[in-house]
């Protein structure tokens, strides 16, 4: 379920993967969550959210963890958000706390909750994302 500003969207793509990140001069990995969705008129939107930091390229280090921070700045790595809600484009305007809960992993599905409550965007996501293992 994806809701943005009290509107529910039809999610057409839910992917989670690991991507390389250099943090404080040390190379590691972060979660990359990507969504595509449609509004009731068929207009496309997307969310691209990156969070967390681990030295190992292993999804299991990220499962059963909570991540929270502010867009473009956090103490435990990095949180970065960009989205188009079919009407407006947001990135640095999202300046309130971003919360991501990575719950369980079953087969190639990872259960995730996202909560953003900003004066511009009230976003709630609760669902399973398809884990895509990238090479490298």
| Tens digit of each residue's pLDDT (9 = 90 or more) over 81-136 | 999 999 999 988 888 889 999 999 999 999 999 999 988 999 999 999 999 987 65
The pTM for the full model equals 0.91
Q: What is the DSSP letter of 25?
A: T
| First vs last C-alpha separation in the chain | 31
What is the mean predicted confidence (pLDDT) over 52-68?
A: 93
Residues with Cβ within 8 Å of residue 98, at least 6 apart in sequence = 49, 51, 68, 69, 70, 71, 79, 81, 114, 115, 116
Percent of the chain with pLDDT over 70: 95
pLDDT at residue 129 in the model: 97
Element (H, E) at 67: strand 65-70
């Amino acid at each position: 379920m994806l809701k943005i500003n009290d509107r529910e969207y039809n999610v057409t793509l839910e992917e989670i993967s690991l991507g390389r990140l250099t943090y404080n001069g040390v190379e590691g990995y972060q979660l990359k969550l990507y969504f595509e969705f449609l509004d009731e008129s068929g207009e496309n939107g997307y969310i691209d959210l990156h969070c967390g930091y681990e030295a190992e390229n292993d999804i299991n280090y990220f499962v059963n963890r909570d991540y929270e921070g502010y867009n473009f700045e956090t103490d435990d790595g990095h949180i970065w958000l960009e989205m188009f809600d079919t009407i407006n484009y947001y990135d640095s305007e999202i300046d309130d706390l971003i919360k991501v809960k990575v719950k369980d992993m079953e087969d190639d599905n990872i259960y995730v909750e996202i909560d953003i409550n900003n004066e511009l965007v009230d976003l709630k996501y609760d669902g399973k994302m398809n884990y895509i293992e990238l090479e490298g």
